[in-house]
Structure formats: structure tokens, C-alpha cells
Chains A and B, each alone.
Chain A
């Protein structure tokens, strides 16, 4: 079997960022909590590979720690989305056509109708801005995505013979969903999880950019961009590198998601060629 190129490239990008985030726990070129005003807004150099920001912090170090924030938020948010959305979707599929199915799916439509940024602003107004509220907002936004996906995929399985056999054997809906349906839709969920992961990173950056995500002094890619905004004509590197980090990371995850789909679904790949 050949590995899809997009998977290899995407996974490589993603692994680099994950590795940077992990390394940042042990080592960063400079301490991101220590400001050095006299060294502010330096262009990239041997001492500071990506330059320094307006408070004299090393941008390379900030990006490494910021990757940690982005990845942690995205993982937690995808976790919430899958943890709540998938059981809801499976439950709705098991009671397909019933009142419960209707209630769950219309509830999902309701959440879907609000953009995640709006949910974040609502939560912030109630509880104050913080990285936890960003996770909650992005997580809530992920629930209907996974609920719809798993319900749709499960519905087509429920009419298949092997499920029929399980029912004849006397298995209940919970057992069937967990033992037969979930394993069969897992590849779909993994692909969607990868895509939602990249969306999570993007939304976290957007929320931090408008001040609703990670609060200072915790470094975050979105806030680095916001800080760089008025300085763009004096110190363009301050905007360039966080921007590139977001683009490459999101691109990598999307490529990986694409590649995974090709890998799991060879028919689709052949069809495309």
C-alpha cells in the first residue's frame, strides 16, 4: 500500500509543531516570562532567530509556548466535541425517526446556528475571558459537527445485515452502538477530528486576537498577531512569524486530514484519479 503524499507532508508539519510544543516544556531559547525592554523589536538575528517583540521577548520562544496553548486548546475542544457529540449522534441514530432523535438533532441545529465566536463572547460576558472559556466555546461548537457526522454514518449501518444479526441475537441498542457501529465509523471520526483540530487552532487564534482567548502573560499566536498590528510597518517580523505559524500548522492538519481520508477510503481515491 502507498501512503498518500498529503498525509506524509501534513503529518510532518503537524509532528514538527507538536514536537516544538513538547520541547517548550523542557527548554526554550529564552524565558517568555522575562521582559527585556531595551531589546525590543529586534529583527531576526543569531541571538534571536525570529527577532523580539515589542516587550523584548524572544519570538521563537513565544511561538513554541504559543504552540502549546493552541494545541492544548484544540485537543480539549475536539475532546469535548467528540465526547459529547458522538454519543448524542449514536443515540439519535438508535432512536431514528423518534421524538428523541428529533430533539437531539434540532438542539444541534440550534447550536450550529451560533458562530463559535458569538458563543465565546456570550461565555466571556458571563465568566470573563480566559483560555478555559475559549476551550468551552470551541468545544460547544464542535458538538453538533460530531453529532451529525456520527448520526449520518450510523444510520446507514443500522440497515445492514450484520447489525440485523446482532439485533436478532438479542443485543440492545447501547451494545450495538458501542460494539458494532462505533468501530465502523471510527475512521470517519478520526478524519473529522483532524479537520476540527485545525479549525480549533484557527478559532483559538481568532479569539485570542480579539482578546477573548488566552490572557497575558500566557503566549498565544492570536495575541501575538494582535500585538503586532500597530507595529507592522516598524517591525513586520512580529506579525510575519505568528502568521506563518498559524498558516503552516492549519495547512499541515488539513493535509493530514485529507491524507487520512484517502488512506481509509481507497475507493474515493481511485474515483478521483
Chain B
């Protein structure tokens, strides 16, 4: 009997070990609302399908660089308005149909169409015409010169879809990537299987499961129990020290594109007054927020730009923690006795915990910020669309998104004409040095105008089984790229 049990146990261990070598379970906090990256804004969509199921003409590397994907090369004409992309041959979609220039024309025309539901239509705004020159060659004509096209086409919103399957991608995504969609159990998981006909470098994994665990306590338990092999964006930074101390796990700390800001409603009193905004910025103690809300994970920022970007300017000295000066500024603005405003907080820990700390810091200079915890749906409706707020905390995770400050209808409503002109100039500038100059001027302008209080760059705090390698350390875009992931030992 004992021997039988031992054999059974041994074979069980052997099978799990074998299964583990080729399959992986990834934990995510939020479930995607659908699986079509060209038709939704949710980061969770891209996290599941970007580079795994769908590919674009270009793609982001783990360091944020733009690499060739379905286009093997591209040429730009002398004035920077005509791009000619050479496409890879022998690529097929998961349903067996061939990938060629017509799919590219279809995808880009669909994305920039009048009735397009693409969440980032601005990426395609400069495209005037898309034409198939040959089955493996596409010409894109821009209305004005731009150096940004390969970067724009690397976004998850610009992945190539086929006309035959585009309509069904929300529930049955069909792309060209190394993984084929196999199942989606709503509320629980999405399953992917390796694509045997993949055109590119073969991948090590045979199957991948994305499991959705919204509760941080359950996420911790699932990691500890081994139900989940990796949690690339672990929701509770307070648990990382425990994972770090455990030899079974690797803690992966990297940077994200998430500028976490205390946004102020520039369109309404009292935050329409730059003096008040400056006072708020000076009342904030960034290090306390990073330590208290994020357990030390995060880099302070003085403007809306990622510190790892080469064009970043350190502007922290424009808004040092100076409560006395903040009180003086409030008095100058006519609020010597302070005022009361609302502070609406979405669910993530950086907002909920950070909000309590910020409310205490503002109280110290006389501003009474009444905390109101809201769910994401309410936040989108009340704050993002309705502008019914005084203050809010949110992390802007899109790459290179300083352009949102030029949007008049955006929720913090800045759009100073000089800034809009700056962004227009940036759009048509192709010279790299001149672009950096423009981006730095823009960073300084929004820092000097104290549009928002810039808090910190969100850290990417992930946990993975120590035997997994190849997960991205940083998050240059919203993605959990599994193409290079494998089990070692």
C-alpha cells in the first residue's frame, strides 16, 4: 500500500513538473471587457493579447524601442510624408487566411474611419492614404511630415486584423501572433495555446492561462499556493517584501509609463487660479506618499513625463514640499482661511491610500479635501467625462502621453494655446534633437503652470516563480509579452 501511494505521488509530481515546463498561468487583477485591442481602451485587453495573439506592423520591445514586427523594413521619402512598409511573407492568421497588404489597408482604414470605435484614433489622425503597392508592400501617405508613424503603429490599438474575422475579435480574437486564442471563461480566465504555424522565432511555451484575481489577498494566496506562476503587476506592494524573502519567487521591479498625478479641475474655481494649484503642489510631500501608499516603490516626478525617457527633465525643484509657502500662496489667492473641495478616488491602492495621505497633507495648509471613494465606472462618468470633481488621483499609463494636455475636452481642461501650438509643432517635427527640445519645453510649461500636482512614476512591481525567465521588467506599453518566456532548470 505504501509503495502504491509513493508511486502515485511520484507520478503526480512528475506530471505536474512536466506540465509546468510548457505551460504558464499569469495572474491579472482586472479582467478585460473584451479581447479586441482595436475596439477598447482597457489596459487588460492589451495585456492579454498584445504580442501574444495580435501583432502590428511594428512593435514595442521590452525597453520601449520600436522594432519591426509584421513589417520587416520601411523606407521614408525625403520630406517625411510617405512611408513604404515591406511586409513579411508566409504569415497566416490563426483561421488560416493569409496576411498581406490588403489586411493592412483594411486595418488602418477601419481604425481611422468616421465610425471607428478605436480608443486611440489620434494615432492615425495624420494618415491621409493607405495603399497596397504589392501583396508584400504598403504605402502610407501622411498629410504632414511625421517621425512618429512607426511608434504609433506599435501600439496595441494598431494591430493588424483580417477583414474576415475583425468583427468577431471581441470574443474570438484572430491575429497572427505566436499564441492562438482557445477559451475564455468569463470572470475567471482566458486560455491561449501555442500557434504551430507561427512565422517568427518559435516560442518555448505550449499554453498560457491568464487568470483574473481582483482581490489582493486572494492574489497573495494564489501566488503562495502556486496556483499562479507569475503576477506581472502585483496589486499589493506591501506583500513584495515577503515574496522577496522567499527563494521560490522573484520580485521584478521595473518602471512603467504610469505618471501618477493629483489632477486638479482647471476649469472650475478654486483650481482655475494658478496660485491655488501651486499651493496644492507645494503642500504635497511626495516621499511620504511613495512610502505610505506604495511601500517605497515609485520615483518622484516633477512633470508629466517618464523619468526613464531620454527627453525627461527633472523639474522636482519647481514644487518642493513647502507648506509655509503654500499657505502664503493661498492667502494671496484670497483663500487665507482655506477652502473645501472633493477628492475622488478610484479603486487602486495608489489612489485610495495615497488619497488619505494627500488629504492629511492638504489639511495641514488649510485645504479640506473631502474623500469620496468611487468605482472605475463612476470615476469615468463623474470625473473623466463629467468633470464633476475638484481633485482626483490617477495614473496615466499610456506611453508618451504629454499630448493630453493639449486636449481642450480633457478632464483637467488645460489646453493653453501656447501648449497646443507646441504639440502641433512636435507632431510635424522629424529631427530628433528638435523633438527633444520641444518635449522639454512642454514639460517645463506644464510644471510652471502647475496644471496638476505630479506625484510619482508608478513602479511595475511583479512577482514570478523563480524558475521563470523572460518576463518584461518594465512596462513600456500595456503588455504581458510571453514570446520570450520559458521555464528554466
A27-65 residues at the B interface, CB under 8 angstroms: 33-35, 37-38, 40, 54-56
Q: How far is the CA of A234 from the CA of B363 in the complex (A)?
A: 29
B239 in contact (CB, < 8 A)? yes
When distances are taken between beta carbons in the complex, the residues of chain B under 8 Å from A232 are: 217
Contacts A55-B356, A230-B236, A231-B238 hold; do A33 and B363 have CB atoms under 8 A apart? Answer: yes
Q: How far is the CB of B168 from chain A (nearest CB, A)?
A: 34
When distances are taken between beta carbons in the complex, the residues of chain B under 8 Å from A234 are: 238-239, 241-242
Q: How far is the CB of B292 from chain A (nearest CB, A)?
A: 4
Contact of B372 among A34, A215, A229 (CB under 8 A): A215
Chain B interface mostly helix, strand, loop or mixed? helix
When distances are taken between beta carbons in the complex, the residues of chain B under 8 Å from A87 are: none
Contact of B292 among A34, A37, A211, A231 (CB under 8 A): A37
Contact of B216 among A54, A56, A230 (CB under 8 A): A230
Mask, A252-272, CB within 8 Å of B = 1, is: 000000000000000000000
Q: How far is the CA of A211 from the CA of B372 in the complex (A)?
A: 10
Contact of B238 among A37, A54, A56, A217 (CB under 8 A): A54
Q: How far is the CB of B277 from chain A (nearest CB, A)?
A: 23
When distances are taken between beta carbons in the complex, the residues of chain B under 8 Å from A54 are: 238, 292, 353
Is the Cβ of B360 less than 8 Å from the Cβ of A33?
yes
Q: How far is the CA of A140 from the CA of B372 in the complex (A)?
A: 24
A183 in contact (CB, < 8 A)? no
A227-265 residues at the B interface, CB under 8 angstroms: 229-234
Q: How far is the CB of A86 from chain B (nearest CB, A)?
A: 35
Q: How far is the CA of A231 from the CA of B291 in the complex (A)?
A: 15
Q: How many A-B residue pairs have CB under 8 A?
A: 58
A115 in contact (CB, < 8 A)? no
A83 in contact (CB, < 8 A)? no
Is the Cβ of A35 less than 8 Å from the Cβ of B292?
yes
A222 in contact (CB, < 8 A)? no
Is the Cβ of A35 less than 8 Å from the Cβ of B239?
no
When distances are taken between beta carbons in the complex, the residues of chain A under 8 Å from B220 are: 230, 233
When distances are taken between beta carbons in the complex, the residues of chain A under 8 Å from B360 are: 33-35, 55, 217
Is the Cβ of A56 less than 8 Å from the Cβ of B292?
yes
A179-224 residues at the B interface, CB under 8 angstroms: 211, 215-217
When distances are taken between beta carbons in the complex, the residues of chain A under 8 Å from B356 are: 35, 55, 216-217
Q: How far is the CA of A191 from the CA of B96 in the complex (A)?
A: 75
Which A-chain residue is minimally distant from B345 (CB atoms)?
A216
When distances are taken between beta carbons in the complex, the residues of chain A under 8 Å from B191 are: none
Is the Cβ of A55 less than 8 Å from the Cβ of B292?
yes
Q: How far is the CB of B372 from chain A (nearest CB, A)?
A: 6
Q: How far is the CB of B129 from chain A (nearest CB, A)?
A: 49
Which B-chain residue is minimally distant from A235 (CB atoms)?
B238
Contacts A35-B292, A230-B217, A230-B220 hold; do A129 and B238 have CB atoms under 8 A apart? Answer: no
Q: How far is the CA of A211 from the CA of B370 in the complex (A)?
A: 15
Is the Cβ of A55 less than 8 Å from the Cβ of B238?
no
B34 in contact (CB, < 8 A)? no
Contacts A55-B353, A55-B357, A230-B216 hold; do A215 and B371 have CB atoms under 8 A apart? Answer: yes
B132 in contact (CB, < 8 A)? no
Is the Cβ of A216 less than 8 Å from the Cβ of B359?
yes
Mask, B221-239, CB within 8 Å of A = 1, is: 0000000000000001011
Contacts A33-B363, A37-B288, A37-B291 hold; do A217 and B371 have CB atoms under 8 A apart? Answer: yes
Which A-chain residue is minimally distant from B369 (CB atoms)?
A217
When distances are taken between beta carbons in the complex, the residues of chain B under 8 Å from A233 are: 220, 239, 242
B20 in contact (CB, < 8 A)? no
Q: How far is the CB of A211 from chain B (nearest CB, A)?
A: 5
Contacts A55-B353, A234-B241 hold; do A216 and B288 have CB atoms under 8 A apart? Answer: no
A128 in contact (CB, < 8 A)? yes
Q: How far is the CA of A40 from the CA of B238 in the complex (A)?
A: 12
When distances are taken between beta carbons in the complex, the residues of chain A under 8 Å from B355 are: 216
B172 in contact (CB, < 8 A)? no
Contacts A35-B357, A37-B288, A230-B220 hold; do A129 and B373 have CB atoms under 8 A apart? Answer: yes
Q: How far is the CA of A233 from the CA of B239 in the complex (A)?
A: 8
Which B-chain residue is minimally distant from A227 (CB atoms)?
B353
Contact of A35 among B217, B236, B288 (CB under 8 A): B288
Can you list 6 residue pairs at the A/B interface with Cβ under 8 Å? A35-B360, A38-B291, A55-B353, A216-B355, A216-B371, A230-B216
Known: A55-B357, A230-B216, A230-B236. 4 other contacts (CB 8 A): A35-B360, A55-B356, A211-B373, A233-B220
